[in-house]
Structure formats: C-alpha cells, structure tokens
Copies of this chain bind each other. A is one copy, B any other.
Amino acid sequence: MEIFNSKLEEEKVFRDPIHRYVYVQDSVIKALIDSKEFQRLRRIKQLGTSSTTFHGAEHSRFNHSLGVYEITRRIIDEIFVGSDEWDNEERLLALCAGLLHDIGHGPFSHSFEKVFDLDHEDYSQKIIMGNTEVNSILQQVSADFPQKVASVIGKTYENKLVVSLISSQVDADRMDYLQRDAFYTGVSYGKFDMERMLRVIRPSKDGLLIKASGVHVVEDYIMSRYQMYLQIYFHPASSSNEVILTKIFDRVKELYRAHYAFETAPKHFMTIFEEKVTVHDYLTLDEAVCTFYFSQWQNESDEILSDLCKRFLNRNLFRYIEFADTDENRRIFEELKQLFHAVGINSEYYLSVNASSNVGYDEYMPSDKVRQPVSLLLADGRCEDLSMHSSIVATIMGKRAVFRYLYFPKELIKALPTSKEKDAIMQLLKLK
C-alpha cells in the first residue's frame, strides 16, 4: 500500500445531503475512511438520545465526520490556498484532523463519558497514537504525523490557524453539525448562510478571522447555534432518556461491584469498571453492543436494571418538571428522597436532577481560554472582538442558559397504593 502524500487516480465522491458531495482526492483520506476505527463511527449516533425525541435525526458520527472534513477542505482549497498567511504543507494535516476529530467518541457519548469518567478527546488521541489502522496509515505520511494530528485535536499544535479550523467559534465542526442536525431534525433554526460564511473567512497566524463585512452572517450563525441549543440539544425529553441511560450504567457498575450474578455478564464493560481499559477494549464498544446488553438485561432478575433497560429500549421516559437550583428545591428534593424511600422506590435511580448549561452559546465567553471569541478583521487591518461590533452577540455572550429539570417515573408513582406519602409525592411533583 503506497500512501504518503499521493493523490488518488480518480477523485472519490460521496453523496451528502448537506454538502451535496464530499470530495476525496488524497490516498491518506481514503484509507482513513476505510479504516475499521473510522467505520466504527457508523455505529455511534451523532445526537445520542436526541434521536428518540427527534426521530428524523438518526445520523451517525461517521456522517458528521465526513462533513467536517469537507468543510475543512473547502476552506483550505477555496479560501486559504494562495494566501501568505497559509502554508499549504499543512493541508493534509488539517484534513486528517478534521476527519478524525471525533474518532474517540464512545457510545451515547456524554452519558457514557460522565459515568465512567472518560473523555472522548483523550481517546481520539490514544486511537491516533495507538496500535490501530488509523495510526499505521498516518505513519505512512511521516513518523511524526500521528503525533501532529493528535496535537491538532488536542489544541496544542503550534500553528493556531490549523487548530482553529476544527476548534474555534466558527470552525468546520460547528458549521457542519449545526446544518446537519437542523437538516435531520427538520427544524429551520440551524440554517445559516455557509456559502457567505466561507467567503468572509480569512486566515491569520492566530486563527480564523472574519472580515468585518461578514458581521451579519456570523450574527446569524451565533443565533442559529443559540436556537439549536435551546430547541434541540437541551430538549428535556432527550435529557430524560439520557438520565435513564446514565442510571443503567450506574446500576450495572453497582451490581458488578456487588458481585451480582448476571445472566448476561457485562463482559465488554469489565475493563472499564476496573479502570484498566485499553484502546483496543474501548474500540469494541459501540451503540449496537450497548443496545444488545440492554436488550439482554431486560430479563435480569434485578428489577431496577430490568426496568431501566425496558424504559430505554421502549422509550418509556421519566417525566420532568422545571427545577431551578434554589434552597426551596433542595429541600423538596430531600423530602422527595425520604418519601420515595417510604413508598419503596429507589431514589438513587428514580429521582434525578439534570442540568444542561455548560455547552452552547455559553461557550462564547471570553473567559474561556480554549475557545477564543470570534475576531473581526476590520478594513484597516486591525482585529476586534465580534461582540464589540454586534449588540446581538454582546447580549448573548453574557448570558448563561441553564435548563434544570427533576426527572421521575410518573406511572410508577401513580400506580402506588393510596397513602399519605403518595399524596405528598403527587403534590410535590404537581401530578394529578
């Protein structure tokens, strides 16, 4: 297999509903797409549990990763090439980093990472540096190429412009997922004028800049992002399914530690439980594998595990009420825990507060060391922060959107025999 820097004999083209076509001209990119680690991304959904709320959005990270690659390629080949600020020797590096930026995602990314204290960016780097097909393909470019790709993804690569292509306020990652997730969910919010955006992007040694004349397209993009977080990514029904998923993993971990006699032992998760997971173990995990276990565990004798798995598979969600972080609510939560205990419902698994907040337009805070704000390139050559030129963005910038809900199993509660505890629970949860 000769790869190196070579071009394919014939350009390879993938039909794509967002970009119409994804164009591949480099042997390395073709080989990476064909690698088993990249094909695994077909078995991990882009939106995790949101696909059960927005049934149109069943697309995978494979799908999205091709899109990020394509936007990166277009920015370089259509805008950067020929500019003094851009060294085209970095092209292949940027393309590989764009393609592989999500390679370390585990099944149902966020819940999984939270429960097991894993980080997908770590794993992206481990997969790129480990004994993998991806690594051996990248090695063929040069011995230090895998390390370079990993450092771009890790945001430590010295050329900030390359890093900014896949990690900045207006990077290829966000530009793809906003459009893609809007397309698949069927909402109109995520649409912004990417063709115009591409025309106002400029390279600089400190990262992507936006020409001042493009201020409105960026405003539109920032507003799209804001709307997508509010409407899609933070939707409380999706979070409900994520709560259930988290509780399944919690329960399995607890049962495993308690030496519970599983009918179907959690073989694929053991090294994770024992914190000795290898890259190879990690790569065996995908959503098909998890779903298989959930499907088996429906029949376990442990009622909690069985019930949670049924809920997840059959989308029998927890109900929710808004539940701001107040003293009063902290008191109510404690009271509910005791009442649940009294009526025999395990509050550890059936009463949960979930807050969505840290992601989203909040990322756009100047305090954020990593995600730099959008710099506008003014007519006179100076750069200034977008928020100084857009009162819309200035407003959003300072805000913190917190969505906080309390989740609980409505039908379990309603099925309880009459008691004063039941009445109290019903009242606190505003059930009728």
Contacts and interface: CB of A to CB of B under 8 A. Distances in A.
Given A55-B63, A63-B58, A295-B289, A188 B184 contact: no
Interface string A209-225: 00000001001100100
Contacts of A183: 17
Nearest to A291: B288
A58 B60 contact: yes
Interface string A229-248: 01100000000000000000
A15 B188 contact: no
Contact of A219 (B186, B216, B227, B295): B227
B230 A216 contact: yes
A396 B231 CA distance: 21
Given A63-B56, A227-B219, A314-B36, A395 B399 contact: no
Given A59-B56, A289-B295, A192 B185 contact: no
- Chain A contact patch, size range: 35 or more
A359 interface: no
Contacts of A284: 295
A184 B17 contact: yes
A186 B20 contact: yes
Copy total for this chain: 4
Nearest to A394: B395
A187 B192 CA distance: 10
A62 interface: yes
Given A219-B227, A313-B39, A316-B34, A189 B184 contact: no
Interface in A5-41: 13-18, 20-21, 34-36, 39-40
Nearest to A14: B55
Nearest to A35: B314
A193 interface: yes
Nearest to A393: B395
B187 A15 contact: yes
Contacts of A227: 216, 219-220
Contacts of A188: 191-193, 220
Given A36-B314, A66-B55, A187 B195 contact: no
Q: Which of A58, A185, A187, A315 has the most CB of B within 10 A?
A: A58
B58 A59 contact: yes
Interface in A34-82: 34-36, 39-40, 42-43, 51-52, 54-56, 58-60, 62-63, 66
B66 A62 contact: no
10 contacts: A15-B56, A15-B186, A34-B315, A39-B314, A56-B59, A58-B63, A188-B220, A216-B227, A288-B292, A289-B292
State the 9 A-B residue pairs at the shortest beta-carbon distance, nearest first: A17-B186, A292-B292, A288-B291, A395-B395, A17-B56, A36-B314, A288-B288, A188-B193, A39-B314
